[in-house]
Amino acid sequence: MDRKITLAHGDGGELAHKLIQQIFVSAFGNTRESHFDASFLSLDSGQIAVTTDSFVVKPLFFPGGDIGKIAVSGTVNDLAVAGAVPLYLTAGFIIEEGFLLADLRQIVQSLADEARAAGVRVVAGDTKVVEKGSVDGVYINTAGIGIARSGKTVDPKTIESGDVVITSGTIGDHGIAILAARGELGLVTDLKSDCAPLNRMIDAVMDAAIAVKMMRDPTRGGVATTLVEIAEDFKVTIQLQEQALPIRREVVGACDILGFDPLYLANEGKVLMIVPKAEEERTLAILRRFPEGANAATIGEVTDTENGKLLLETPLGSRRRLHRLSGMMLPRIC
Amino acid sequence: MDRKITLAHGDGGELAHKLIQQIFVSAFGNTRESHFDASFLSLDSGQIAVTTDSFVVKPLFFPGGDIGKIAVSGTVNDLAVAGAVPLYLTAGFIIEEGFLLADLRQIVQSLADEARAAGVRVVAGDTKVVEKGSVDGVYINTAGIGIARSGKTVDPKTIESGDVVITSGTIGDHGIAILAARGELGLVTDLKSDCAPLNRMIDAVMDAAIAVKMMRDPTRGGVATTLVEIAEDFKVTIQLQEQALPIRREVVGACDILGFDPLYLANEGKVLMIVPKAEEERTLAILRRFPEGANAATIGEVTDTENGKLLLETPLGSRRRLHRLSGMMLPRIC
């Protein structure tokens, strides 16, 4: 087999056939079940959840993950935070001519491994090859299909004053890990991306019948942008406690040097939950049972249900309003 | 609003929010139904069909279509030829910094219009922006979800000698239209791409209870590669009649000049069907009722069910074996 991807690997002919057989079929452990470009799947439930995301993360390999891993966790998490149970993924690869087959193999294997770990099946795929310079290495799109959870679902309309806002762990890890991996800013750190599928941890919370009122994964735009969206969509005021935010020492340090605010950095393995005050401790206890929830913490509360805004209270008691991310340049973070 | 896409349009913040509101929400006519990154959908059937495809066609606009149109028809057709009824699409856009918003708007509108025409709904979307030079304009991934047709389905195991192979129209139009649109080969022609969703025409054939044994859309790799795959997968010999192939004059002319074989050129609005000889005329009559099936024709027959190969018989009676496309360089045809 060749060492590098050529345009002929993408033309639908003999080499494309071999590429699929040798890299994709083996990684996903499928024998070819369908003779069509579509897979047929049986579902127990009549209600499905659907999402899609493209991944253009740079660099392709970074501490804590790679583009294959993030392509699974990003899409699985979008389904899980919507209150659905992720079941199936599709994966579309756009590959640059000259890309190393060994790297492609590693990325595909990583995607397959992560899907297996998350309990989802990759049921359809596609590869396109474009000329050198027409894509930066490889981009992956995944679409995810899940089933709606029967019984208890997330219901943001029930958010009320006194509800607490919980993060499943430290914030900003992914953003700083990616920046450091790019090597552009002279940042040296042991920090790893938090990139991980959260569906099993979220399952545990939902299965415990916690009345989760809203969940979101704070990816692009970070915790602040995600909470501003929730605040505006449901006309609630959320007040964060600055000293309650769990932030790794390395992230604080990097933000000090670079002038970034950790509240706006992307996370790829965190969930924000709004739950009743009465269920705060039980929720934290369940989250902390999982490695990805070890640093779960309450970071704020809902203080008003008539105005849609996000406030940050400092240790000295002053409050300032936070807005959506605006003009902060961290392209290709996922 | 700005005239060009900037990196900030992709960072998940304020500008990204505006871009989605102003271009995507208006084109798809959705009010924002979900506060999550996933859509919930109800299905009548418990069996769904899933597919995905990325589109990197160059140029983005070409006679007969654009990348938005092809992103719908390609995925809708993959579902339809599998015997499923397409219902939902997801759409992921990867956009180059500096891309004209007017062009993006036109592409998104074209995608929305085409989805409406095909009777499918775009239920989830994503946009990423990458630095200038890291993608060539815009690439689109669509994933498609359909339901399995109840009752009569396509059954390739019933293929037998004497069955006929039908094309829904002329072959090679898309390949030559794209080459001409690139302007690289000095090819001047009025030819249009055949790019079109075929689900309504295929529905009509299936609804008429024609015993379709196999269907495929001959895209990348063309009619020959598609039929080689069918021949190999089901161990049948298919013999094409060269003089029966419907090929437009412009395509014959361009192939003569460029040394291409129309059997290997991509089509984006054609379906190949294998049906019993007894249903040949009825199938052709149904196909010809549709504009996209006006030139439907029988192009060959199944001559053996023990050997998987594709043969081409010339007008003089000589036969040669055809293989998969191998090393023919037409990158970014879809």
Q: For the domain that residue A143 is a member of, what is the CATH number?
A: 3.30.1330.10
pLDDT tens column, A219-272: 989 999 999 999 999 999 999 999 999 999 999 999 998 889 999 999 999 999
CB contact under 8 A, B10 and A139: no
Same domain, A73 and A131: yes
Last residue of a domain, one of B148, B168, B203: B148
pLDDT of B250:
93
Which H or E run contains A166? strand A164-167
Cα A246 to the chain's mean position, in Å? 18
Of A17, A90, A234, the CB nearest to B50: A90
Q: Which of B13, B54, B131 shows the shortest C-beta gap to A326? A: B13
Number of domains observed in the structure of chain A: 2
A33 has a pLDDT exceeding 50? no
Residues B112 and B218 in one domain: no
User: What is the CATH number for A274?
Assistant: 3.90.650.10
Residue B281 in any domain: the answer is yes
Report residue A323 CA to chain centroid gap.
21
Question: B177 and B64 in contact (C-beta within 8 Å)?
Answer: yes
Pair of tokens at residue B152: 């009569």
Please name the amino acid found at residue B188.
V
Instruction: Give the length of chain B.
Output: 334
Residue A334 placed within a domain: no
Provide the edge-to-edge strand list for the sheet that holds B84-96: A39-42, B47-55, B138-148, B84-96, B121-130
Q: What is the DSSP string of A179-203?
A: HHHHTSS-------------HHHHH
A128 and A234 in one domain?
Answer: no
CB pair distance less than 8 Å for A51 and B37? yes
Nearest CA to A134 among A101, A94, A178?
A94
Say what the ipTM of the complex is: 0.92
B220 touches chain A (CB under 8 A): yes
Q: What angle do CA A9, B313, B210 make, to 5 degrees?
A: 80
For residue A240, which amino acid is it? L
A64 and A163 in a single domain? The answer is: no
Nearest chain A Cα distance for residue B80, angstroms:
9
Both B118 and B169 in one domain: the answer is no
Co-location of A166 and A110 in the same domain: no
pLDDT tens digits, A53-105 = 999 999 999 999 999 999 999 999 999 999 999 999 999 999 999 999 999 99
**A260 with A129, same domain?**
no
Is the backbone peptide bond immediately before A218 cis, with ω within 30 degrees of 0? no
For residue B32, what is the nearest residue in chain A, using CA coordinates? Answer: A233
Residue A200 · residue A271 · CB < 8 Å:
no
Confirm whether B330 is domain-assigned. no
**Residue A291 in domain:** yes
Given B101, B131, B148, the domain boundary residue is B148
Establish if B328 belongs to a structural domain.
no
With a pLDDT cut of 90, the percent of chain A lying above it is 75
- Chain B contact present for A10, CB below 8 A: yes
Query: What is the reported pLDDT for A289?
Result: 98
Does A24 fall in a domain? yes
Cα–Cα distance for residue pair B214/B165, rounded to 1 Å: 9
**3-state secondary structure at position A306:** coil
* Pair B299, B170 in one domain: yes
Residue A173: its pLDDT value, please? 96
Note whether A327 contacts B15, CB cutoff 8 Å: yes
Tens of pLDDT, residue by residue, chain B (334 residues): 578 988 888 777 778 878 878 888 778 765 444 556 677 777 766 688 999 999 999 999 999 999 999 999 999 999 999 999 999 999 999 999 999 999 999 999 999 999 999 999 999 999 999 999 999 999 999 999 999 887 767 889 999 999 999 999 999 999 999 999 998 777 778 899 999 999 999 999 999 999 999 999 999 899 999 999 999 999 999 999 999 999 999 999 999 988 899 999 999 999 999 999 999 999 999 999 999 999 999 999 999 999 999 999 999 999 999 999 887 667 898 9
Confidence of residue A34 (pLDDT cuts 50, 70, 90): low
* The pLDDT value given to residue A328: 64
Per DSSP, the residues of A222-240 read HHHHHHHHHHHHHT-EEEE
Q: Do residues B201 and B318 share a domain?
A: yes
- Cross-chain Cβ contact B94/A54 below 8 Å: yes
Q: Is residue B94 part of a domain?
A: yes
Cβ of residue A53 closer than 8 Å to a chain B Cβ: yes
**Same-domain pairing of A13 and A140:** yes
Range of the domain at A274: 156-322
Closest Cβ–Cβ partner in A12, A84, A324 for B14: A324
Residues B15 and B85 both lie in one domain: yes
Q: Please tell me which of the candidates B38, B83, B330 has its beta carbon nearest to residue A51.
A: B38
Burial of B82 (0-12, 13-18, 19+ CB in 10 A): buried
**Are residues A240 and A284 located together in one domain of the fold?**
yes
Summary mean pLDDT of chain A:
91
SS3 B159: coil
d(CA A188, CA B3): 38
Radius of gyration of chain B (CA): 21
- Tokens representing B269 are 């609005």
Q: Please indicate whether, in this complex, the C-beta atoms of B50 and A332 are within 8 angstroms of each other.
A: no
Written as six digits, the tokens of A256 are 């000090």
Residue A1: inside a domain: no
Asked which of B85, B119, B148 is the last residue of a domain, the reply is B148
